[in-house]
Amino acid sequence: MTTYDDMVMQTKMFKELDDGTFDMKEHDEMMLWLLKKDNVTKLFNIEDFLIEAQSLIKTEDDILVGFHDVVIKSTQCIGQKPNRKHLFKMYIGVKPIIKSFKKTMKQINTYRCYTKTNDIDKLDGTFYIFTYDLRYKEAFESQGITVLTMPSE
């Protein structure tokens, strides 16, 4: 059973995950770009999907961990058999700049931890970073995080 002190401690720890990019004007611009269906279609080459912004991430005890900036939910996944529909989720963290590779990795790994299916240790989708800052692209991708950037018009 989680006590009040445990909840306070967890809340403090989760607050440390903030990387300071959420309040940036560019963050809003990138989020709004991702909320347009035409842009998502270009970025992922899919047509049948839903877009969710600022999706809550909570513990089993209902403690807020953070927010997925954008979640794309689709039944159109490459390699699926046509008669087998499975909801596929893409979790996108919007980061105009990467202030710290370590802090960003810590945030994403925490979000991964609380974004599980009922199957132990099975992630419920794929994680992406949508950024202009490509300095750490290779490092993130070595950790299973796809790095996306704004396509050229």
Q: What is the mean pLDDT of each run of 10 residues along the chain (153 residues)?
A: 59 59 81 94 86 89 86 70 66 94 91 71 78 96 94 69
Is 86:80 a contact under the CB 8 Å cutoff?
Answer: yes
Q: Can you give the pLDDT at residue 65?
A: 83
The residue range of the domain holding 101 is: 4-148
> Of all residues in the chain, what percent are helix, strand and coil, respectively (each to 5)?
30, 25, 40
Which residue is listed with tokens 């299973």?
Answer: 144
Q: Can you give the pLDDT at residue 142?
A: 96
Q: Can you give the pLDDT at residue 123?
A: 58
Residue 153 in domain? no
Q: How far apart are CA 129 and CA 78, in angstroms?
A: 20
* Sequence-ordered alpha helix ranges (H) in 16-129: 25-34, 37-44, 101-113
150 Cα distance to chain centroid: 16
Q: Can you give the pLDDT at residue 62?
A: 81
Is 40:49 a contact under the CB 8 Å cutoff?
Answer: yes
Q: Can you give the pLDDT at residue 95?
A: 94
Instruction: Give the number of domains in the chain.
Output: 1
Residue 112 in domain? yes
62: left (phi over 0), alpha (psi -120 to 50) or beta: left
Query: Which CATH number is 111's domain given?
Result: 3.40.1350
Q: Can you give the pLDDT at residue 42?
A: 85
Q: Can you give the pLDDT at residue 116?
A: 67
